[in-house]
Structure 1
């Protein structure tokens, strides 16, 4: 029973992370792209495109942190001890984004808040990449691990920019759509290059590459996922070429899902590669079962609310003159 509960919570936390990365990823991405958007009218479109969803998207990160604290407290303690600075930087970045979104509409000069919003988005993406890099390297010290972590941060920034650009392709109007198509192509190239470099680095320097990938059957799962990721990247390019509105965003989501599934397969059964498995870090069965009852009530509400708001605010943003 305990084994089933630990595996169930590992999968649930993975699902929460997927929801967060896909939903908050595109609104962090449009924030990053706002730094390269010179015209205020176009930045107005960027804010309008995420104004109805940005705060709900971030709730998945809160739920994920609470789930890890309750279900895997030893992993939470071990990770937070090493990741306190990037997690606090992530929190500060998200606060800056929220303040900029709320105060910009009342400001006489909006450019200052626009910069805060863009830098906050960039900082949030970078710190999430740092956390990912630290986890993959098993919290290892040294220049090599730091270089790998920096590459992870660059990859996350590029990936979020890809999600943001493809989101604007289907939500914006006019010149901003044309700019978003160009930015999506550049971001896709950077994302794929980062993914290839990180794969090579993981194979050479990480406990995942040395141990997990060499286990029987693992590569048999990862190779089809890599092929799916490559196909998704190609589909994004094709959809951009034929000037599809929704295709690029769907392809970008598929690319993220394939990559994330590969990461989950690579990590399992570890939460900190080479150091802490889910069995070692898990709470007792009673705690996990009680939390499972709670999440069974919360999950449908959160997913239903997210789906409903995306349905209500579907279509392109309205331009107000």
Structure 2
């Protein structure tokens, strides 16, 4: 195999690996961010206690995927890392600050007595800001950092869509993990956020077609549109399954359907982006590190991935089942 073929193979492999890390982060941390946002709608302290308890054993491990994702992007595609972080300095700092807010709030609320409700609000607001920041980052990347009112509108829709999608994951997680009043409320939240998420996804798709370099170039490539239509059908079926599971009083089905919806959506995003990391500006080939670096990192991630996935699966297995309110 000649050096250029090896380089292309390695860079494409790393594009797929980073996409996989992104999906794992969005699904795992997405539901606990969604639960955090939904706490803002609950007035009773007992309700918020149970909601936070449902993610208490897994939220910090979920965020490790974001750390690994940042390190992988820096090592595999340093040019993209430099461009994305320099252009997205404000939302990235907003994301980091909001994650710090969440971490501090979820720890300090256990020690608080008179100010516990205030820490709950900090946790909820931090979760909301983190979701908004990620939506802004996604929107900016989709638009290829093109300025203008049309791009701003698309970014606003992606921010709303990410918040709504995370709330959908959070609500269906609560259906799976809680009982009684919270589970009943979560079913209502699931239906509302499913509709808002689908509407936002349709609006982003239409906006991408008009504004983004993705829609202008990539979607016109041979065979791409057919694959995206197939994925859109799968997303529609997943949405119907979520509704069916909610109304049939299913406990695991709504979260499984929501997860499938997110995975299919990100598959569509990855196909739309390829071969670009930043649409219209930076391709996978031009941004990739040299072959030796990519190979060395591949061995490293090959050892790290099984440990992280195994740990994640073990913790979900260990803390499976419904949460029981802690008696104080």
TM-score (norm 2): 0.97
Which residue in 2 is equivalent to 1:189? 195
> Runs of 5+ in structure 1 lacking a partner?
none
CA distance in 1, matches of 2:319, 2:242: 23
Alignment pair present for 1:106 and 2:111 = yes
Which residue in 1 is equivalent to 2:47? 42
CA distance in 2, matches of 1:319, 1:25: 23
Aligned with 2:277: secondary structure? strand
Spell out the pairing of 1:197-208 with structure 2 (5 A cutoff). Answer: 197-208=203-214
Which residue in 2 is equivalent to 1:2? 7
CA distance in 1, matches of 2:318, 2:56: 13
Which residue in 1 is equivalent to 2:3? none
Alignment pair present for 1:59 and 2:64 = yes
CA distance in 2, matches of 1:276, 1:128: 20
CA distance in 1, matches of 2:280, 2:242: 36
Spell out the pairing of 1:302-317 with structure 2 (5 A cutoff). Answer: 302-317=308-323
Which residue in 2 is equivalent to 1:264? 270
Selected match of 1:72 from 70, 77, 91: 77
Deviation at 1:144, TM superposition (A): 1.2
CA distance in 1, matches of 2:224, 2:309: 31
Selected match of 1:249 from 248, 252, 255: 255
Q: CA RMSD in A?
A: 0.6
Tell me the alpha carbon deviations over residues 41-97 of structure 1, each in whole angstroms, 9 at most, x when there is no partner. 111111110111000000000000000000000001111110011000000000000
Deviation at 1:320, TM superposition (A): 2.5
Aligned with 1:52: secondary structure? coil
CA distance in 1, matches of 2:189, 2:43: 14
Tell me the alpha carbon deviations over residues 7-52 of structure 1, each in whole angstroms, 9 at most, x when there is no partner. 0000000000010000000000000000001111111111110111
Alignment pair present for 1:135 and 2:141 = yes
CA distance in 1, matches of 2:66, 2:147: 26
Spell out the pairing of 1:142-157 with structure 2 (5 A cutoff). Answer: 142-157=148-163
Aligned with 1:314: secondary structure? coil
CA distance in 1, matches of 2:81, 2:326: 46
Aligned length in residues: 321
Which residue in 2 is equivalent to 1:161? 167
Aligned with 1:216: secondary structure? coil
Spell out the pairing of 1:221-232 with structure 2 (5 A cutoff). Answer: 221-232=227-238
Deviation at 1:172, TM superposition (A): 1.0
CA distance in 2, matches of 1:209, 1:133: 14
Deviation at 1:318, TM superposition (A): 1.4
Which residue in 2 is equivalent to 1:91? 96
